[in-house]
Structure 1
């Protein structure tokens, strides 16, 4: 999806506009979880088949669940993104490249898709254009991105400015590997997809619900 620049706001402008309201919405969840705000690190776990985005924090190597958000729109089907224009939400473990305060979709957080794993296997399969411009953003429309609605985009944007984008990780799974064996979804897929799903499963294992 092409994310054009629609204004001249800075990140500081966005924090000034939405910071206090976003903190007010987030703080009760942090208090309930009995963890500091802002945290040291943040992990977002996206689960495609249930349209959920879980917010976890890590302080002193301890993972704590904060809350779950509904994903309002995410195009495509289960399975990794392969090429530009396939409308697939990617699957894998990603970092944030930058925050866009002037997104056409209110606010957005740019994922580093394609990452090194994606690029390696795209090259092996001769896929010259594996796609790009994958965001977590506001509004409720998606062509390969995670659309979260404007208020959630504000919360995630502000939270990221507080912890630093280098301290935010995003993992996207076809289904919740803590509940379902996602290797079954790769039974008819290339070996690299099986490896990808094993990596995702191992990553999710660190984030266990007490509830």
Structure 2
């Protein structure tokens, strides 16, 4: 019974944080992040003619390069521009999608932030909606995939406590500006023909076909510099152009 009550309390706290992001500014770690980072982040935004009240962001991760790119735009604009590049502190698993709980794989695909945790065991964390619709259609399992602090992982994207302060604040501002689903796109590498050819011998035909499908979204993202819109059709991403 104690475990059930504790679980319900955690769920209520999480839902409260999701639905009322402004309340998070009173959380100790968020307050520290604001004290340490707010000035420099707002200065960077201003240099790009952006502000926190009208901010949208988009995150792109490349597993093989241990790199997380943060793109930004004003809410009144349609295209994103690169704002900052962050090193991912540590990697687990190998190239290829996450398929099962406990496989230590970092997912690959098109996700969004679905929860904020200002009291994470990993300092601050941003949860992803893994498994997404495509993952579920393929029978993949797993949960609790986060972009978080510290430098340890079993399938997440650890950014260190210092850098997660910045990423978390950007995400919080975007949420407050009305961005309900902050996109997070995770690729095994830059999805060029050359890179796919380089790594295709390391994977099976199913993963290779999956990568080719990811490449469709990757190419569209590079061309349009916009959030991707897609549906899951016949166990594949179908992109709206």
TM-score of the aligned structures, taking structure 1 as reference length:
0.81
Q: In the alignment, which of 199, 206, 212 is matched to residue 194 of structure 1?
A: 212
Q: Is 2:177 the partner of 1:166? A: no
Q: Is the 8 A contact 1:46 1:52 kept in 2?
A: yes
CA distance in 2, matches of 1:174, 1:121: 18
Aligned to 1:62: 79
Aligned to 2:231: none
CA distance in 2, matches of 1:37, 1:114: 30
Aligned to 1:22: 37
Task: For CA contacts below 8 A with separation 6 or more, give which structure has more relative contact order.
Answer: 1
CA distance in 2, matches of 1:119, 1:77: 21
Counterparts of 1:62-211 in structure 2, within 5 Å, are 62-122=79-139, 127=140, 130-164=141-175, 166-177=180-191, 181=194, 183-184=196-197, 185=199, 188-190=204-206, 191-207=209-225
Write the deviation string for residues 166-202 of structure 1: whole angstroms up to 9, x where unpaired: 252111111113x555543457331444323433443
- The worse-fitting range, judged by mean Cα deviation, of 38-47 and 195-204 is 195-204
Work out which of the two has the higher radius of gyration on C-alpha atoms and give 1 or 2. Answer: 2
- The worse-fitting range, judged by mean Cα deviation, of 22-31 and 105-114 is 22-31
CA distance in 1, matches of 2:43, 2:143: 35
CA distance in 1, matches of 2:132, 2:93: 20
Aligned to 1:48: 63
TM-score of the aligned structures, taking structure 2 as reference length:
0.71
Q: Is the 8 A contact 1:44 1:56 kept in 2?
A: yes
Question: Where does the alignment leave 5 or more consecutive residues of structure 1 unmatched?
Answer: none
SS in 2 for 1:102: strand
SS in 2 for 1:87: coil
SS in 1 for 2:120: coil
RMSD over equivalenced CA pairs, Å: 2.6
- The worse-fitting range, judged by mean Cα deviation, of 57-66 and 143-152 is 57-66
